[in-house]
């Protein structure tokens, strides 16, 4: 029986299904001198390199958008909930 590869590239996208260790997780998310996106330590695709300053801008922007979405749930009148629309024929 042929063993399937647990890591590699498929159509240019990296994948890695080896059992992750804590050391490998920490090394994957903190790579000084590398670009903003680095290969994921487990799974398919890329993740943010937290040693790069651009990644922190992305994290901050996502946090601001999430905060604004949660605070904008009330409408201008201060009421929460769905709006009822009546259409006469």
Instruction: Give the domain range for residue 14.
Output: 7-67
Residue at 77 is within a domain: no
Q: Mind listing the pLDDT tens digit for each residue in 42-71?
A: 889 899 999 999 999 999 999 999 999 888
Q: Mind listing the pLDDT tens digit for each residue in 68-87?
A: 988 876 545 566 678 788 99
Phi, psi of 27 (to 5 degrees): -65, -30
Average pLDDT value for residue range 29-39: 90
Three-class secondary structure of residue 40 per DSSP: coil
Instruction: Count the domains in the chain.
Output: 1
Residue at 28 is within a domain: yes
Q: Which of 21, 26, 67, 64 is nearest to 47 (CA)?
A: 26
Residue at 23 is within a domain: yes
Phi, psi of 71 (to 5 degrees): -85, -20
């Amino acid at each position: 029986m042929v063993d399937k590869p647990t890591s590699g590239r498929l159509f240019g996208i990296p994948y890695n299904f080896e059992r992750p260790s804590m050391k490998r997780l920490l090394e994957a998310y903190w790579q000084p001198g590398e670009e903003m996106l680095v290969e994921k330590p487990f799974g398919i695709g890329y993740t943010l390199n937290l040693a790069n300053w651009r990644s922190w801008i992305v994290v901050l922007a996502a946090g601001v958008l999430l905060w604004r979405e949660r605070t904008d749930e009330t409408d201008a009148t201060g009421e929460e909930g769905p709006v009822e629309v009546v259409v006469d024929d």
